[in-house]
Amino acid sequence: MAAIFTPSEIRQRHGPLFSKRLITMVDEALGKARIVEECCAQGPVEWDAMNRLRAKGVVEHVEVMGTTLIMDARVGEGEVRFGAASKDTGGQALKSLIVKNGKVETTWIGLAGASVGVGACLPQAEGVEKVEYLSDQVVGGSRRVEIKIITPLHKRLIIGIDDTDTKEKGATWVLGLKMGREMPHGIFLTHKIVQLNPHAPQKTTNCASTGVAFAVRPEDVNKAVDWAKEFVGKGTYSDQTAMAVFEGLDVPRRLVRYGADAKEAILSIHDAEHSAKENHIKLLEITGRRGMIGALAAIGCFDLGLYSAGLPEDFKHV
């Protein structure tokens, strides 16, 4: 029978360690998940990233951003292959990820030094509800530890906003950042400033829209959207402010194309409404409709890395 502990009990047992927060988001329609793991230092994050990629399991992609590890995985169970790591360097793997009764259950395996990370460190992270030891509870040395971590199910929610400022006052990126920091119905993940066509005739100054991503529990999605609409409505200086809303882990390719087009072409409100409809994106008029163009483009460009903040000519010689 598995031994079950809370994070506080793990902390009392091993002392406070280094994992700060664990967030699990799942797109069940796609059979995909994204795990965001925050640590207090970059070294463990980089080491964990490479070891989890090497061991396979259900891991498909990893990205390190400072002291945060972002890991894309598939829902289900995968074969773990530690290879030479099991003999010489230890190893760490995400063996499975399933959704059960509104919770996310992830199964982890750690060998040698990595057994401390899996068996003592990760279980202490904020966001963990409980931990089941499927093996011996002793960590470190040459031990092999297998545990199951239960976390709340979250969805990724991206909110795009535009046309919140005037030539005299305001900045859309500032309002978006405030929205992210003050959101009461989700966990603030990412803030993006999206550069659009600077030749747009009705721009204010830079012609940039903003996207903000949150991890939100399914039952709180509508609350988060309603709160964001009210927040932006109170903070805008423009009579053309609008918002776009997307829920999911993969931005549709046709919407990415729309976002890229908004960097070079002069798009219309009709273009935005057509693209939103074919990609099942919700557009919300707050004080006007013109902001729909950039708000939707912010979602289209959200996952494009540095390209979201630049223009096509910036990358011709990169």
Q: Note whether 200 and 145 are same-domain residues.
A: no
Which of 104, 134, 152 is the endpoint of a domain? Answer: 152
pLDDT at res. 8: 93
Residues with pLDDT less than 70, the chain? 1, 83-90, 137-142, 201-205, 317-318
**pLDDT digits 0-9 by tens, 134-181:** 877 666 656 788 999 999 999 999 999 999 987 788 899 999 999 999
Instruction: Looking at the structure, tell me whether residues 106 and 177 fall in a common domain.
Output: no
Which pLDDT value is given to residue 167? Answer: 79
Provide the token pair at 200.
């747009």
Structural domain harbouring 223 = 155-315
Tokens 């273009």: give the residue: 271
Neighbouring residues of 69: CB distance < 8 A, sequence distance ≥ 6: 35, 36, 37, 38, 39, 45, 48, 49, 62, 63
Residue 42: enclosing H or E segment and its boundaries? Answer: helix 42-55
Nearest alpha carbon to residue 106 among 127, 82, 137: 127
Q: Say if CB 255 and CB 296 are below 8 A apart.
A: yes
CATH value at residue 242: 3.30.70.2200
Q: Which of 93, 120, 152 is the last residue of a domain?
A: 152
Global pTM reads 0.93
Counting the structural domains of the chain, the total is 2
Query: Do 64 and 116 share a structural domain?
Result: yes
229 and 117 within one domain: no
Give the model's pLDDT for residue 124. Answer: 94
- Report helix, strand or coil for 167: coil
Residues 209 and 296 in one domain: yes
Do 127 and 164 belong together in one domain? no
E runs forming strands in 55-163: 59-65, 68-74, 76-77, 91-100, 103-111, 130-133, 144-152, 155-162
- pLDDT at site 1: 60
Q: How many helices (H) and strands (E) does the chain have?
A: 9, 15
293 and 176, same domain (yes or no): yes
Q: What is the pLDDT of residue 276?
A: 97
- Dihedral, CA atoms, 223, 225, 231, 235, nearest 10 degrees? 180
Q: Are residues 99 and 222 in the same domain?
A: no
In the listed set 134, 152, 170, which residue is the last one of a domain according to the structure? 152
pLDDT value at residue 110: 87
Among candidates 44, 94, 99, which has minimal Cα distance to 73? 94
Q: Kindly state whether residues 35 and 111 are assigned to the same domain.
A: yes
Residue 90 has a pLDDT of 61
pLDDT of res. 114: 76
pLDDT score at 279: 95
The Cα–Cα gap between 87 and 93 comes to: 15
C-alpha dist (Å) from residue 269 to 172, 193, 207: 19, 20, 16
Distance (Å, whole) CA 183 – CA 159: 12
User: Same domain for 205 and 140?
Assistant: no
